[in-house]
Structure 1
């Protein structure tokens, strides 16, 4: 797969001594720098540090969580098989995913499994997600830099040697032997000028704005809405009727989850586009701004709909929205190998598969999301889908893996992102141990080590 290169970002050539990159101070010299503190980044940093490596994690917000917390996606999707006829479902993704799930359960921060069409998901408490991440990173000895953004990369030829940071303290440098880009947007890869692409010839999935609504009469709500988090046809019909009456409700097929808190719901209802209907690409800050301002307006409209039309929600109010719009897709890397749509539909297994996924293709375009279920089966993501085709000493973890458009609509969810981080860390450890590049790391060895540490592979 070919992609485009983004050359507008600054790259610094490696220097020596206490100052580097045009005289910038060196903040740390470490084995591994992890960029992004979402599910993939927390997993990658924790696993690498627990193996005795020096690790710095860089996160732009004041907390870890990424799309799960800042974007308030709010659920650990992708752990359970899909089954027909409502039969009980089996959890088949473990490893770091299972470990983080246990941390949440211990804190009371995860719901029981909730029906999601033919499969199940679990909703988490965002505060407890942050606390679980904080504790894991601290116990592992990860140096965490919050409120810090990556604004450039250090390169020695085509070898990544660290990143340039910006914070209120100024600009500085982290020198690192290996870089894990867990930004979700392939931000480090793009800043190095390596090839990336956007979805299907530039078409990507819509962002959304999640919100939490409180003061719900849960018994009456469940009696009307039902146990399935995907809305029943009568709710979709009511949305369409309310739209004709003037409410701004562009999406009629919505999802509502119970949370760990009494009388509270997590709502995934909005569909965010430009005023002219154009797709929004939130890599562009103007599109990102449009998504968030439009998202908050739509949240108010969907909250009005709930109060007027859904029993049990008459006195509901909005608790909060995401810190940022929920981002489903931006850049993907051009990898050594690409996860294809056929890989997903055919539930392909492979000897170098490092992450398994039973999640459906969940494509968010237009009025209704499109779902293609993988019944009683799953596929595996190849190790080299995390490795850029060009460039040395950098690997990605998270939704920016190399994947075709519809394949990514399945592979991007939280359970899998934890395991991408796990895989990236294991590959990094092998790369450092043997002093080899990521493309020379044997994916079957990554798989073996992950399995030894609890991954269901």
Structure 2
């Protein structure tokens, strides 16, 4: 747990545990409570509801999408193999990921796969992302509570029994047989005083501020920039030249994606540290705030750079940024099992694997970006890396799974988060039906249901 210099946990880090008998009104009693409506939460809620369970999904924003929409991390990364000389994308992840991808594409909300170094990724329209999510959730019969945050956790001994919700209407309680923490930040686990950690000895990946440029001459831009979304050396040299001249352009190797909209680019260029050079931890609201102020300034500086120096962008303008900084990493749970760095490097396959990952180790910090490619291969994520070591009736889905620092830098991307949610939703239904704790479920059984649902495992 994070502490201040005096060794005392700051107020935002303190747990908020309520007994089953409390004075708050009970809003609902359900089979499954899902916290967070990002990729993992949408998949988890949909899957559990389609398995016949009553489900409430809680989301602090007024829309689904999480990092993919609020953070404008506007690509579905992690679907395709990487190879030394990529020609055509070869898909390796299916399941709920493919269901969502296909629905986005059918609406015209997804680009064809774009070259990203040695692999491929597709960019989406964030508004269509939320529309697709709404459709999945409503069709499955999920009860959605937008504009609602978790203020505390209801605990019956070591058993998660529900959550205390906060909205403009006040506080209330949802009681649930099973809880899925898809917050991305292990927000439920942390409020219950569950065990978690931050990266490698507290060092986590820095956030970024995505932005979009409008009114771009795409043909002229692509003739100069080339087919790879990772920038060519000429662009890196130009950025470094302008930085030397005083421009606020801290990152030299940037990524630029075509979007489904005409004459528009999505840009991943910023590197956000504190103004004093320290790494930011966006769990701390002061760090979160500073990161967004710094990120917006950097987005403006990079947009000015594009307009002044990149062919096709002379008439472009900064259309928007993410609603929040793009968050790569915060808390990771201490799980019954941990995805290890060697599991990634050795492309380990597992009988209890619930997701394939072909994505590189994509590590971002104040020293720069580092990519370690997994060529023509993938590894499996173990089921028990989603199950906290302490506490019953709780499972996580998304980037807060139990993983070592470098392993998480590969395993945290969108295609995999969809499948973690898929796994958590399946596990919640099985746990109720078989009257077993999550830790006692056989990961091979979860995997078998996922495979029957279309996952490639």
TM bucket (normalised to shorter chain) is over 0.9
Shift of 1:308: 1.1
Establish whether residue 52 from structure 1 lines up as the match of residue 58 from structure 2. no
Contact 2:35 / 2:59 at 8 angstroms: preserved in 1? yes
Structure 2 equivalent of residue 355 of structure 1: 355
Shift of 1:282: 0.1
Q: Deviations over 1:47-94 (max 9, x none)?
A: 100111000000000000000000000000000000112332311100
Structure 1 equivalent of residue 64 of structure 2: 64
What is the correspondence of 1:255-294 to structure 2 with a 5 Å cutoff? 255-294=255-294
Shift of 1:263: 0.5
Structure 1 equivalent of residue 366 of structure 2: 366
Structure 2 equivalent of residue 411 of structure 1: 411
Shift of 1:405: 0.2
C-alpha separation in 2, matches of 1:247 and 1:3: 34
Shift of 1:244: 1.1
Structure 2 equivalent of residue 181 of structure 1: 181
What's the C-alpha RMSD, in Å, of the aligned pairs?
A: 1.3
Structure 2 equivalent of residue 151 of structure 1: 151
Structure 2 equivalent of residue 13 of structure 1: 19
Q: Deviations over 1:336-379 (max 9, x none)?
A: 00000000010000000001100000000135310000000000
Contact 2:279 / 2:366 at 8 angstroms: preserved in 1? no
Give unmatched runs, 5+ long, in structure 1.
16-20
Structure 2 equivalent of residue 190 of structure 1: 190
Secondary structure, counterpart of 1:85 in structure 2 = coil
Shift of 1:414: 0.1
Structure 1 equivalent of residue 383 of structure 2: 383
Q: Deviations over 1:206-260 (max 9, x none)?
A: 1000000011011110011011000011100100001111110000010000000
Give unmatched runs, 5+ long, in structure 2.
none
Secondary structure, counterpart of 1:24 in structure 2 = coil
Secondary structure, counterpart of 2:85 in structure 1 = helix
C-alpha separation in 1, matches of 2:332 and 2:183: 11
Contact 1:334 / 1:388 at 8 angstroms: preserved in 2? yes
C-alpha separation in 1, matches of 2:219 and 2:44: 41
Q: Deviations over 1:117-147 (max 9, x none)?
A: 0000000000000000001100000000000
Shift of 1:10: 1.5
Call closer, same or farther: CA 1:445–1:3 in 2, change over 3 Å: farther
C-alpha separation in 1, matches of 2:265 and 2:389: 43
